[in-house]
Amino acid sequence: MSENLLLVPVFLPIAVGVLVFFIPKMVKGVREALSLLTAAIAFVVVFLIFRMEESHLFISIIEIGDFNLHLDLLSAPLASFILLFATGFGLLISLFSASYMAGKERYKEYYGYFLFALGGTAGVFLANHFLLFLIFWEMVTASLYFLITTGEPRAREGATKSFAMIGASDACLLMGVGILWFLNRTFVISDINLPAEGWLPVLAFLLLMVGSITKAGAVPMHTWIPTASEGAPASVMAYLPAALDKLLGIYLLVMISTKIFVLGYSLGLVLMIIGAVTIIAAVMFAMVQHELPKLLSYHAVSQVGYMVLGIGTLTPIGIVGGLFHMLNNSIYKSCLFLCGGSVEKKSGSNELGDLGGLSRSMPITFITALIAALAISGIPPLNGFASKWLVYQGVLETGKGGSFIFLIAAMFGSALTLASFIKVIYSVFLGQKSKYTEKVTGDSGFAMVFPVVVLAILCLFFGIFYRFPVEQFIAPGVGVSLTPMGIWESPLATILLIAGIALGLIIYWIGRAMRSVRTADTFVGGEKIEAETIRVEGTYFYDTIKELPLMEKFYLSEEKGHFDLYILFGKLRAWITGALQFLHNGILSTYLSWSLLGIIVLLCLSIFLL
Amino acid sequence: MNMALLPSMVAIPLGIAFFTYLLARKSSILADILGNLATFSILVISILLIKTRGVYVIGGWNPPIGINWVLDGLSNLVLVVVALISFAATIFSTRYMEQYTARYKYYSLFLLMVGGMNGVILTGDLFNLFVFLEVASVASYALVAFGCNHEELEASFKYLVLSSIGSTLVLFGVAFVYGATGYLNMASIGGIMATGNQNTILTVAAVLFIVGFCIKAALVPFHPWLPDAHPSAPAPISAMLSGVLIKALGVYALFRILFNVIGLNQLYGTLLIVLGLLSMTVGVFLAVGQWDFKRLLAYHSISQMGYVILGVGLGGYILATGGSSSVAALAILGGIFHLANHAVFKSLLFLSSGSIEYSTGTRQLKEMGGLISIMPVTRTTCSIASLSIAGVPPFNGFWSKLLIVIAAIQAGFHAVAGITILVSFITLISFLKVLRYAFLGELPEKLKNIKESPALMGVAQAILALFCIGMGLLLLPGPREFLLEPAVNALIQGVEYARIVLSGS
């Protein structure tokens, strides 16, 4: 009986998603309510599954010779723990969307695809059959595409690119699954375990790795995320690229690195290099962005680097750290995207230069964004620090001489992240008001504020009590016990930090009360200058980075797409097409000679070979 | 009892074609009614015939002298597919063809083509096959040129020349076989081949058949007529040509003769695999560069036919080399299922392109944009068909491609599987391009006042879209047993066909 419960989080959202398409246009509010209710039921059921014993559901569907496809669902501890988060995000973002998507032109389809993505995600985490896994995986990809198309007209670029790139990685995944079948003669995930040695297993691992890092968005398969952020609804960015796609991609990476394959040092090193390059390259791009969603999306890429780096260490603590960072990142990154959406909805712009001074008119959004920004920058005692700390230890534990380079890259990346978020916080919330932010009078409504507050609280909770999730759920899920880690008593440190901040505030207030300050109008060259014209934009300070000698070339080639596999592949494809079109000159006699040639070749072949 | 219905599959379209030409000159509504009635009745009959197997002897003259019609698993499946697509195309035609004159001629030619195809599918006699091949082909030359613009006439002429060469080669093949064996009946020839009689004349005949049918099926390098001919025809005809004509006249006939009459050997198996891979890759790379919507679709037909040939050829190769018969069956199942799936989604894509052309007056993707808000029905059906052809689950194209890929891997052909997946990916890119330029983005200024195409056209599209969504269910054990598996078995039995047909008559 209890195993039938596994069907609910997968098929309920899909069924309701189909239903949503058939609700007539006139009916209002039902879609939102249905989606919220479905996400809530899925969340509760997943919680029950998570608390249950590991259960297994098996229904045979297709069996043709050696080919089979079964509805084979298994609630492994790690998978159901991550799924709990996935459905939680579904619930929060569904609530946010109810207010955020209201009034947008194509919100009607939005909830259908939203629920498909939720059901697909649940399917991926519960599937114990690789083809079933693949089908649900692809379903999430397709839902992402359609969700992005519900944005502005210019979102078509990002939607197409996302589907194309993830589609390519899904193709790799299918090939990898096929090779795995060839090596093991089974599609059952829990039955596969082989050492990644010899060219075929290594090829299979690399193909599956491409599938996972593209979904998660690591260099060099990351470019769909920044492009998608241009024009896609903020809730979509928070939901898929920031949260669910990370969970899916990194989950698969952990599965193939720990359960499905037994990796050697060199493949681990490949992962570590991908991770380190991702951290640094993406954060460099993030620093110079002017558009809030695009900046956030580059950070979404950069953070994946820590997860891949941690998993690449192949040490228990690194893998656990990578997984924990995945959860933390989904929390603060979707919080940031949702805050961005909230600001955009209120002010009508997401250009950093157009914003400013929102801290007073949107205090809750400000504080939550600040917490999330500090968390992503790895400031203790927030969750980003806790997981980065584990990743650092994992890197150190590999013990090889080169590991210092990775450590430095990771820490440097963290510093640059902080630098980048100082710009965001300053440009959006501090400084002077702009013509967009003047008219903003209050914070967003409950539906948009509640989810970000929950996420910010989770940032704090997972930072201060990080041992609880790590030791209770993640480490047992991976099947390792952690050796005692470096001394980091987060609760104690938090108390000390709070005390320090309080002391600083007291000194600041005392100083402010004792000193008298006079304000005067700006007066230059005999003329009064309007406050508006001397407004300093946060983005301005960071433009100098673009002009640094080496960096200049780097950014220039990035703008031209030299690092973008999508564009490079497009050029190759166009060249092949061009060559073929050159052969098709439209002249009948050419075509006739091809046929003639074909006949001659076939005749020779069959007469001489038979 | 059901066998008595078999002749009507050919008699109804041919008969109504005649009466339409005679009676419906003045009234285009009567032409519409007659056309739809004919396709609807053959759809009903083909469904009634699903479980029937047997041989129908024309005029009581027993083979090898008389002509027999054979209804086995494979012909059964292809008959249903042809009838379904024809029905959807005639529904679509009722409103779409308002742009043209002489509707009675249109429906007569249409039904002649359908009758010819059904004849090719059913016949058990080589010369009879050639006759029906010509009936369907000649009708299709005229239909491609139906608009009578210079572009259409040029395309039709190219098609006529290349396709006639194909027909001639087939005729030569028939003559050679007759000369070598003294029979025209397919089963009787197969009986001789089964005794292992090797003869150079028969080998030459086999090559002539392969080339002739490859031209009809538009496989690379015999394909150049297709990208001109298919886009030039009116949309429902494009749907018929790409959806079923190249399959019935080309692929079906090729499989029937290679597997059941000549008997497959390793060389022919390899040949089919190579032709399949070549068509898949060349077709898809040419398709993705097109900006004319229908021309893009036409190139994809070449590419998708490659999948069918590859799947079945792979199965044949495995059988001929004595590999695992369950893997061979899987490959053939993938190929045959892809044939049916391609018929459905490609016809739907051509109907969608017709619907867009009807509303916007253009086929150029660059002149469209933002149709998402104006043409919701076409957008939905076109998206479903695009995802199907790109192989996105749970739509039908995914299942057949998956079977082919898995079969290739099980047979140890990793590179073949890799190419198959790569082509599928480029197909995805090319349809993302279609969706992006046609439906997403900003609506161009001059398309501000257009409307969604008429409801009846939407109905035709919706029927096919439902099949795109649901056809994956055919793989479930129950439905598989009475539609797909018999078709696969009909090919696997090879030259056993002769014994079954001759004992049945």
Question: What are the tens digits of pLDDT across the range A69-96?
Answer: 999 999 888 999 999 999 999 999 999 9
B264 has pLDDT over 90? no
Q: Best interface-test mutation with B: which of A18, A62, A63, A67 has the largest number of B CBs within 10 A? A: A67
CA distances from B374 to A151, B313, B371 (A): 17, 44, 5
d(CA B239, CA B85) in angstroms, rounded, equals 8
**Among chain B residues, CA nearest to A186:** B410
Q: Cβ–Cβ of A153/B442 closer than 8 Å?
A: yes
What average pLDDT is seen over chain B? 91
pLDDT score for A533: 67
Question: What are the tens digits of pLDDT across the range B301-335?
Answer: 999 999 999 999 999 999 999 888 999 999 999 99
- The answer, for B222 touching chain A at a CB cutoff of 8 Å, is yes
Chain B residues near residue A61 by CB distance under 8 angstroms: 476
B373 has pLDDT over 70? yes
Residues 6 or more apart whose CB falls under 8 angstroms from that of B138 comprise: none
Give the number of other Cβ atoms within 10 Å of residue A515's Cβ: 7
pLDDT score for A404: 85
Task: Please state the rounded mean pLDDT for residues A448-463.
Answer: 92
User: Rounded to the nearest 5°, which phi and psi values hold at A350?
Assistant: -125, 20
Chain B residues near residue A593 by CB distance under 8 angstroms: none
Q: Cβ–Cβ of B327/A154 closer than 8 Å?
A: no
Residues 6 or more apart whose CB falls under 8 angstroms from that of B412 comprise: A182
pLDDT score for A130: 93
CA distances from B22 to A173, A244, B31, B102, B237 (A): 59, 64, 10, 12, 22
pLDDT score for A609: 77
Confidence of residue A560 (pLDDT cuts 50, 70, 90): confident
Q: Cβ–Cβ of B393/A578 closer than 8 Å?
A: no
Beta bridge mates, A523: A528
Rg of chain A in Å (alpha carbons):
26
Question: What are the tens digits of pLDDT across the range A155-171?
Answer: 889 999 999 999 999 99
pLDDT score for A346: 87
Q: What is the DSSP string of A176-209?
A: HHHHHHHHHS--BGGG--EE--SHHHHHHHHHHH
| A149 to chain B, closest Cα gap in Å | 7
B199 has pLDDT over 80? no
Residues 6 or more apart whose CB falls under 8 angstroms from that of A238 comprise: A89, A93, A96, A333, A334, A335, A337, A338, A341
Chain B residues near residue A576 by CB distance under 8 angstroms: 285
| A560 to chain B, closest Cα gap in Å | 21
Q: Cβ–Cβ of A573/B207 closer than 8 Å?
A: no
A457 has pLDDT over 50? yes
Question: What are the tens digits of pLDDT across the range B413-429?
Answer: 999 999 999 999 999 99
What average pLDDT is seen over chain A? 88
Which of B372, B380, B377 lies closest to B440 in space, CA to CA? B372
Question: What are the tens digits of pLDDT across the range A404-447?
Answer: 889 999 999 999 999 999 989 988 888 888 888 888 888 888 88
Percent of chain B having pLDDT more than 90? 72
Map A11-76 to HEC letters.
Answer: HHHHHHHHHHHCCCCCCCCHHHHHHHHHHHHHHHHHHHHHHCCCCEEEEEEEEECCEEEEEEEECC
pLDDT score for B335: 95
pLDDT score for B505: 47
d(CA A395, CA A390) in angstroms, rounded, equals 9
B359 has pLDDT over 50? yes
Question: What are the tens digits of pLDDT across the range A195-246?
Answer: 888 899 999 999 999 999 999 999 889 999 999 998 899 999 999 988 999 9
Q: Considering only the beta carbons, identify the residue of A179, A595, A605 that sits closest to B165.
A: A595
Q: How many CA atoms lie within 13 A of B155 on its CB side?
A: 24
Chain A residues near residue B263 by CB distance under 8 angstroms: none
Q: Cβ–Cβ of B211/A605 closer than 8 Å?
A: no
pLDDT score for B282: 94
Interface of B with A in 278-297 (CB under 8 A): 282, 285-286, 288-289
User: Among the listed ranges A236-240, A585-589, B75-79, which one has the minimum average pLDDT value?
Assistant: A585-589
B197 has pLDDT over 70? no
d(CA A397, CA A391) in angstroms, rounded, equals 10
| Per-domain boundaries in chain B | 2-504
Residue where the block lists tokens 């969603």: A293
Q: Regarding predicted confidence, which is higher, A551 or A309? A: A309
- A-B contacts at Cβ under 8 angstroms: 166
Confidence of residue A531 (pLDDT cuts 50, 70, 90): low
Q: Considering only the beta carbons, identify the residue of B267, B324, B440 that sits closest to A605.
A: B267
d(CA A246, CA A269) in angstroms, rounded, equals 21
d(CA B306, CA A475) in angstroms, rounded, equals 49
Judge if the upstream peptide bond of residue A491 is cis by omega within 30 degrees of 0.
no
pLDDT score for A487: 64
Query: What single DSSP character describes residue B412?
Result: T
With 0-12 / 13-18 / 19 or more C-beta atoms within 10 angstroms meaning exposed / middle / buried, residue A494 is: middle
B181 has pLDDT over 60? yes
Q: Considering only the beta carbons, identify the residue of A163, A167, A584 that sits closest to B224.
A: A584
Percent of chain A having pLDDT more than 90? 46
B198 has pLDDT over 90? no
Interface of B with A in 327-346 (CB under 8 A): 327, 329-330, 333
Q: Cβ–Cβ of A64/B329 closer than 8 Å?
A: yes
Task: Please state the rounded mean pLDDT for residues B109-135.
Answer: 95
Alpha helices in A313-362 (DSSP H): 316-347
- The answer, for B394 touching chain A at a CB cutoff of 8 Å, is yes
Q: How far is CA B7 from the centre of its chain?
A: 21
Chain B residues near residue A167 by CB distance under 8 angstroms: 390, 425, 428-429, 432
Give the number of other Cβ atoms within 10 Å of residue A360's Cβ: 11
Task: Please state the rounded mean pLDDT for residues A5-13.
Answer: 92
**Among chain B residues, CA nearest to A579:** B286
Q: Cβ–Cβ of A135/B393 closer than 8 Å?
A: yes
Q: Considering only the beta carbons, identify the residue of B221, B267, B286 that sits closest to A581.
A: B286
Amino acid at B273: I
pLDDT score for B110: 96
* Residue-level length of chain B: 505
